Amino acid sequence: MGLVTSTEMFKKAYEGQYAVGAFNVNNMEIIQGIVEAAQEERAPLILQVSAGARKYANPTYLVKLVEAALETTDGLEICLHLDHGADFEICKDCIDGGFTSVMIDGSSHPFEENIALTKKVVDYAHDRGVVVEAELGQLAGIEDDVNVGDHEATFTDPDEAVEFVERTGVDSLAITIGTSHGAFKFSGEPKLDFPRLKRISELLPGYPLVLHGASSVPKEFVDLNNKYGAKIPGARGVPEEMLREATKYGVCKINIDTDLRLAMTATIRKVFAEQPELFDPRGYLGPAREAIKQMVAHKMKNVLGVSGKL
């Protein structure tokens, strides 16, 4: 119990055909909302920190806040993970600073360079009991006006995935099958390349795969944002049933950030619109924290299947 790596979490998730949620954190209220949900749902949890989050909040603050969350909860298991580490230095910094997991994202580099960079991080991390996620393929959305061939070139090649895992010894692999970051993932019908996912999971039995860009962009929250002054028409995410389906094929970690942003911002917008006299930050950050908690609890229970798996 306490701060752990994702090794045991993924082993159980793979066997149980569910996924552990990896939620991005930037400040105290976000951490508290997510952790309260995990505590109530009795769910293992990955909290992830991007380079932007480290810059915004100061890495020491985020690590200490997560430690505080562990101290004030009962028997929770949290994996503290670096999201999208761009180079060896940031991974090293996080490993030395108390993270239990790092992502080295070499996906924009040619195959051999991605392997060499990932291997360097894996060697450093494993010597210190830290696990590593890597990425192969480039995240992109499926859009009506881009032909399928263009996208296929950026999706993870199943044979390359096997070679990549064997040569790097990396602990988990983020793959690209049509998801993308942010609130505008599909301009037409949402579609993921499930045959590709099935092929990758057949070739890597027992191996944990990771899905980035997996927010569902719930219409309810897009509408709520727009109702209170936002301008995000046409936002669209990955349908929840597709995420549930993905957990049957080795996807053990599902990354969610955008949906937390939507819930938090909609809530704050609503408070501002309905209570113009309010200027105590606790008056809007408190409801925002509660909205994050509800969103995460919903994901854990109804999408990831991770509730009760602690």
Subset of 2-21 contacting ligand 13P (CB under 6 A): none
Catalytic site includes residue 96? no
Tokens for 138, please give them: 């480039």
Catalytic residue among 83, 193, 257, 259: 83
Which lies closer to ligand G3H via its Cβ, residue 14 or residue 155? Answer: 155
Please choose, from the candidates 77, 197, 212, the residue with its C-alpha nearest in 3D space to the C-alpha of residue 133.
Answer: 212
By CB under 6 A, tell whether 212 contacts ligand 13P: yes
Using DSSP's 3-state secondary structure scheme, residue 175 falls into strand
Site string for ligand 13P, 37-76 (x = CB under 6 A): ----------------------------------------
Strand 101-104 versus strand 77-85 pairing type: parallel
Judged by CB under 6 A, the number of residues near ligand 13P is 13
212 touches Zn ion (CB under 5 A): yes
Measured distance CA(256)–CA(18) in Å, rounded: 15
Work out what residue 214 binds among Zn ion, ligand G3H, ligand 13P, none; the CB cut-off runs from 5 to 8 Å by kind: ligand 13P
What residues make contact with ligand G3H under the rule CB under 6 A?
Answer: 24, 50, 52-53, 83-84, 181, 257
Q: Footprint of ligand 13P on residues 105-134 (CB under 6 A)? A: none
Other CB atoms within 10 Å distance of the CB of residue 244: 18
Q: Is 287 helix (H, G, I), strand (E, B) or coil?
A: helix
- Give kind and range of the element (H or E) at residue 3: strand 2-3
Q: What's 184's DSSP letter?
A: B
| CA angle (156 as vertex; 153, 159 as ends), nearest 5 | 105
Q: Which does 53 bind (CB under 5 to 8 A by kind): Zn ion, ligand G3H, ligand 13P, none?
A: ligand G3H
Q: Which residues contribute to the site for ligand 13P (CB under 6 A)?
A: 24, 83-84, 181-182, 212-215, 255-258
